[in-house]
Structure 1
Amino acid sequence: MKNKPAVAGGRPVREKVLPMAKSVLNDNDINAVTEVLRGGKLGSGEAVSLFEQAMTAYTGARYAVAVSSGAAGLHIALMSAAVGHMEEVITSPLTHPSTSNCILYQGGIHTFADIDPATFNIDPEMVAMKISDRTKALIPVHYAGNPCQLDALQELARAKDLVIIEDAAHALGGEYEGQKIGSISDLTVFSFSSPQNCYTGEGGMVTTDSEELYQWLTMFRENGMIYDSQRQVKPEGPWTVEMQDRGYNYRMTGMQAALGVSQLSRADGFIGRRANIAGRYNRAFSGHPAIFLPEQNSRGRSTWHYYVMALRTEYLKVSRREIFDALQTENIEVGVHYLPVFLHPYYLWIGHPDICTLDTSLCPKAEDLYHKLLTLPLYPAMTDNDAEDVIEAVLKVLNYFLRA
C-alpha cells in the first residue's frame, strides 16, 4: 500500500495539503508596515522612495520606479519606450497574459516567438524570424526565474534599433553574465504580487539606467502629472502641477513599500533556500524516464521562482491531467504555468491574423510543451521534510503509472 498512490487506494504521502506557494513574513516585515500605519502617511511618499533606493542598490540600476503592479510596470515601460499604434512587440507565449496585455493597451501588435524546448525560454532564433519593419520592442520573459539568452537578444536589438523590456516578474535576484537582472537592458520590470523573493501583496518596479526613460516612467505613473518646476512648461508658483501627457494612477502605497524594503533585505537568503530545494528535486528526478527538466542557463543565476518539469507522456499510461489529480490526492498542490497566451479566449476572439490560423500552430513548441507541464511546490518556508514529501509523491505516482 505504501507504493500505491492515494488515487488508486493507497495512503497519501501527507495528511495535510502542502501548498504550491506561501509567503514568508516575519516580525520585521510586520513592524515595518505598522510603522507606516502609525505615521499616518499611507500613500506614496518617503517609504516608496526608500524602496526605490533599495532596489537600485540591489540591482545595480541607476533608477527604479515603484508601481502598483508588475502589469502597470510593463505598461509604463512600453509608454516610455514610445511604443504605439500598430507597432509590433515580440514576446514569449509561455507567460502570464499581462506580459502581452500591455501591448494591447498601447494599440500595438503582439507577436509571439516560439520557445526553446530545452530551456522553456523564448528562442532568439525564433525572435529573429519574427522581426519586421514594424517591430519596435522585445519583451523577453525569464520563465520561472531562469535567465533568457540576453546577449543574443541584445545583438538582435542593436541591429534593428529595438528596445528591450525584460519581464523579470520571476527573476528578482537573478543574474546573467555576472550582472544582476535589472541592470542590463533598457528597461526591466519586476513584480512583487505573488509569494517570491520580495513580496508586497501587490506591487512592482521598473528599473533603467536612462535618465530620460526614468522621467517618462515617473510621469506616466503619476497620471501624467509633473510636480517638478524645472520640468514644467509654465510654473506659476510652488502650487503648480501640470499634466503633460496621458498617464495613470499606478502609484505604490507606503505600506507596500515598507514591506518591500524589509523583504528585499532577505531576498538572497530566499533565493539560496529555493536553490537548495531545487537541487534536491533535480537530484531525485534527473534520469527518470517520465520527467524532462528544463536546462538552466549556465551563464546566469536562476531565482527558482517556480520548479517546473515536463512529463514525457509517451512513457506514461495516463494523461497529464491524471498525474495532476493523483498528486493533488497525495495532498501535494501542483500547478501548470502557463497556457500559451494566444490560446486564451480573448486572444482568440480579437482576431489577430497570426492567431486565427486554421491549419498550423502559432508557436508549436510552446503548445506541445504546455500539455506536459507541471509546477511543484517551491518556496523558502518549505522544510526538508516537505521537499522529501514532494519527491516521494512524484516518484510514487509516476512509477505507478509508468508503461511496462
Structure 2
Amino acid sequence: MANQYEIVSDDSTVCASPRRSSFLPFHRPSIDDGEIEEMIDTLRSGWLTMGPKTLRFEEQFARYIGAKYALAVNSCTAGLHLALNAIGVGPGDEVITCTFTFAATAAVILHCGARPVLVDCLPDTLTIDPAQVEAAITPRTKAILPVHFAGHPCEMAEILAIASRHNISVIEDAAHALPAAYHGQRVGTLGDLAAFSFYAGKNITTGEGGMVTTNNDEYADRIAQRRLHGISRDAWKRYTDQGSWYYEITYPGFKYNMTDLNASLGIHQLRKCDRFHAKRQRCAALYLEGLSPLDEITLPTVQPEVEHAWHLFPIRLNLESLTVGRDSFIELLRQEKIGTSVHFIPLHMHPYYRQVFGYRLQDCPRALSAFERIISLPLYPEMTEEDVGDVVRAVTKIVAAHQRSAIHG
C-alpha cells in the first residue's frame, strides 16, 4: 500500500490527502435479508423464546466447531458462569485467569464464590503466560480460564499439560475466538469447556447471546438443566405436544437460556462465518502491509501454529518514539474520522481488585505496558479496502507528525 504522505519542509509538515468525509465506526454488524426473513418467520411462528430454532442453531454450531455438545445461552458471561458451575467451582476455590481481559472473565469466578487469581500476559500475543499460571497454582486451584485475546489462541499445549499435571480443569474464554484454531483444532474443543460470545460486536452476532461447548456428557447435562432454572434438560418442551406441565427442580438454576429470536440471527450468521473470516483476514493483511513501515507501531503477532480469528486488530504505540501518548493518538484518529477502542484495561488495575485483593499496578507489568500503548483499529466484514486504506493513511499521518526525532527535539 503506497504511502501518500511526504515531508515538504524542514519542520516536518505533513501534506496528506483530505480526511474522510464520513466517520468510520469501530464496528458495524453485517446483517442482510437472510437474518431479517428468519426473524420475521420466528415472529410469525408464535414461538419466541427458547425452542426449535435454538436447538437448530446449537446443532449447527456443534458441527461447525467439532464439539459433541453446544448449548446456547443469553451471553458469553452466562456461559462462563455455567461452565464454572458445572465443574463445581465454589467458595474456597481459586481460578487462574489473565488480567488482560474484560470484566466478565473474573466476575463469573466471584459469582461462584471463588477467588480469581490474576496473572500476566505474554509480551507478544498478550494471551495468558503459562509459566505464570503454573507458578500461581495452589492446593485450592480448581481451574484455569485462558482468554484467547483478539482472536489469537493461547498456548494451549502448555496450559493443558499444566492442567493435567495438577488435575485441574480448563475453561476457554473464546469470546474473541470464532473461528480460530490451534494446531488445526478449533478453539472451543481444546479445554474441558469453552464459552463463545455473539454480542453485537463479535465475529458473528445474535444481538446478545453466547454458546457453551464441551465433549463431556455430564457437563453438558448440567448446563442444559441449570441454564433454565434447573428444571430438566428439555424444560422448554412443556409448552409443546411432547411435554407436560409437570416439572421438578433438580438444582437452583439460572435464567440463562437463549431465545429463538436470537437464534434466528445466529443460524444465518453462522452460515456466513467462513466468509466473514476471509474478509477479516483480508483487512488484517492490508493493515499488516500498510503499517509495517512504521517503526513507531508494534503490530499484532501471529504464531505459526494458529489460525487467528482476527476479532480485533490491536496496535501498540512505541511511545518512546512519539511525542504524543495513547489517549492523544486516539483523539487525533477521531479527528481524522476513524473510530477506535481500547482492549483492555487490565483487571488488576481496577479499584475493586486493588482494594479487595491487594493487587498493585506493577504486579502484571506486561499487561500494564500493553494497556498504556494499545489501540484497537476498526476491523469487520463490512469494511472496504478503501476503508482500511483510510485508517492506514490516518495512522501514518499522525505518526509522521509526531515522531520523536532530531527535528522534533
TM-score when normalising by structure 2: 0.92
Partner SS state of residue 288, structure 2: helix
In structure 2, what is the equivalent of residue 39 of structure 1? 45
The answer to whether structure 1 residue 108 and structure 2 residue 109 are counterparts is no
Q: Report if the CA contact (8 A) 2:300-2:313 is conserved.
A: no
The answer to whether structure 1 residue 295 and structure 2 residue 296 are counterparts is no
**What percent of counterpart residues are identical?**
37
In structure 2, what is the equivalent of residue 362 of structure 1? 363
Matches within 5 A, 1:353-392: 353=358, 355=359, 357=360, 361-392=362-393
Partner SS state of residue 243, structure 1: coil
Aligned amino acid, residue 129 of structure 2: D
Distance in 2 between residues matched to 1:97 and 1:265, nearest whole Å:
30
Aligned amino acid, residue 384 of structure 2: T
Q: Report if the CA contact (8 A) 2:16-2:397 is conserved.
A: no
Distance in 2 between residues matched to 1:285 and 1:334, nearest whole Å:
16
Q: Deviations over 1:60-110 (max 9, x none)?
A: 000011000010000000000101102110111111100110000001000
In structure 2, what is the equivalent of residue 232 of structure 1? none
Q: Report if the CA contact (8 A) 1:309-1:374 is conserved.
A: yes
Matches within 5 A, 1:66-85: 66-85=72-91
Distance in 1 between residues matched to 2:101 and 2:199, nearest whole Å:
15
Q: Report if the CA contact (8 A) 2:86-2:219 is conserved.
A: yes
In structure 2, what is the equivalent of residue 190 of structure 1? 196
* 1:220 to partner: Cα distance: 1.3
Aligned amino acid, residue 77 of structure 1: A
In structure 2, what is the equivalent of residue 142 of structure 1? 148
Q: Deviations over 1:171-214 (max 9, x none)?
A: 01111111111122100100000333211110000000001000
* 1:10 to partner: Cα distance: 7.7
The answer to whether structure 1 residue 261 and structure 2 residue 267 are counterparts is yes
* 1:348 to partner: Cα distance: 3.0
* 1:238 to partner: Cα distance: 4.3
In structure 1, what is the equivalent of residue 10 of structure 2? none
Q: Deviations over 1:336-364 (max 9, x none)?
A: 11000122233334x114x2x4xx62211
Q: Report if the CA contact (8 A) 1:199-1:263 is conserved.
A: yes
* 1:287 to partner: Cα distance: 4.2
Distance in 1 between residues matched to 2:373 and 2:383, nearest whole Å:
25
Distance in 2 between residues matched to 1:385 and 1:70, nearest whole Å:
33
Q: Deviations over 1:286-306 (max 9, x none)?
A: 242111123212111011001
* 1:3 to partner: Cα distance: 6.3
Q: Deviations over 1:328-385 (max 9, x none)?
A: 1000011111000122233334x114x2x4xx62211101110000110000000111
2:176 to 170, 191, 201: 170
Distance in 2 between residues matched to 1:284 and 1:2, nearest whole Å:
13
Segments of 5+ residues of structure 1 without an aligned counterpart are 230-236
Distance in 2 between residues matched to 1:191 and 1:257, nearest whole Å:
13
Distance in 2 between residues matched to 1:266 and 1:294, nearest whole Å:
25
The answer to whether structure 1 residue 352 and structure 2 residue 357 are counterparts is yes
Distance in 2 between residues matched to 1:119 and 1:365, nearest whole Å:
11
Distance in 1 between residues matched to 2:125 and 2:203, nearest whole Å:
22
Q: Report if the CA contact (8 A) 1:12-1:330 is conserved.
A: no
Matches within 5 A, 1:43-58: 43-58=49-64
Partner SS state of residue 29, structure 1: helix
Q: Report if the CA contact (8 A) 1:197-1:264 is conserved.
A: no
Q: 1:12 to 1:245 in 2, by over 3 A?
A: farther
Distance in 1 between residues matched to 2:184 and 2:83, nearest whole Å:
24
TM-score when normalising by structure 1: 0.93
* 1:263 to partner: Cα distance: 0.3
Matches within 5 A, 1:296-311: 296-311=302-317
Matches within 5 A, 1:262-277: 262-277=268-283
* 1:2 to partner: Cα distance: 7.0
* 1:17 to partner: Cα distance: 0.5
Matches within 5 A, 1:13-32: 13-32=19-38
Segments of 5+ residues of structure 2 without an aligned counterpart are 8-13, 236-242
Aligned amino acid, residue 123 of structure 1: D
Deviates more, 1:280-289 or 1:183-192: 280-289
What RMSD over aligned residues (CA atoms) do the two structures have, in Å?
Answer: 1.9
In structure 2, what is the equivalent of residue 117 of structure 1? 123
Aligned amino acid, residue 293 of structure 1: L
* 1:9 to partner: Cα distance: 11
Runs of 4+ in structure 1 deviating by more than 6 angstroms, as ranges, are 1-4, 8-11
* 1:283 to partner: Cα distance: 1.1
* 1:146 to partner: Cα distance: 0.6
Distance in 2 between residues matched to 1:97 and 1:3, nearest whole Å:
43
Number of residue pairs matched by the alignment:
390
The answer to whether structure 1 residue 315 and structure 2 residue 316 are counterparts is no
Q: Report if the CA contact (8 A) 2:96-2:141 is conserved.
A: yes
* 1:217 to partner: Cα distance: 0.6
